[in-house]
Amino acid sequence: MQILDTFMSMGRPHHWIEYIMPECAKLPSLSPSSSAKDLIPTDLSKFEQLKTETQAVLSSDEFRNVVEVSLRTVADALVKEVLDQSGVGTPSSGTPLVKLDQSGVGTPFSGTPLVKLVPRVIQMSRLLLDEPTRNQFVQMIGNIHEADLFFTILYASTSTV
């Protein structure tokens, strides 16, 4: 959780969007064609419009909130899954899943050093890559009210290009 908090608070408010879509993204390379007429200027303007609209959505506070809630939900579920698989069980409500000591070493509430849980995390990585229709984490995000509302509003206000 501390890693997630650090990632979400680094740099400018929307710095992480640059990993998804750099602001200075260049046009994709076009394959050679038989004629220069194949490149229609209106297509370029539609592409630029799409990039601009995508950048606006990705940098919106609403999207940031949906991403943050989604990441926290999935991170909580992953930690719970790791603890359950390791036989440790889950803490009672309000108990932090991981505590950091003064040196920054993390220990789950059970007292098990995090380094001993790494093999479990590696095994669980396959769960994250499941087909979306079978992926429990994708389904969790789909069940988050904020995510559902955000995408409902986004698609309702989308104009056809």
At 124-154, the pLDDT tens digits run 777 778 788 888 888 999 999 999 999 999 8
Measured CA to CA, the distance from residue 137 to residue 147 in angstroms comes to: 13
- Residue 156 is which amino acid? A
Tokens of 100: 């950091």
Measured CA to CA, the distance from residue 74 to residue 83 in angstroms comes to: 14
DSSP letters, 111-128, are S--HHHHHHHHHHHHHHH
Mind listing the pLDDT tens digit for each residue in 41-62? 556 688 888 888 888 888 888 9
| Residues 6 or more apart in contact with residue 83 via CB below 8 angstroms | 89, 90, 97, 108, 110, 117
Question: For residues 101 and 20, which has the higher predicted lDDT (pLDDT)?
Answer: 20
- Give this prediction's pTM: 0.61
Mind listing the pLDDT tens digit for each residue in 72-122? 888 888 878 877 776 665 555 555 555 555 555 555 555 666 677 777 777
Measured CA to CA, the distance from residue 140 to residue 142 in angstroms comes to: 5
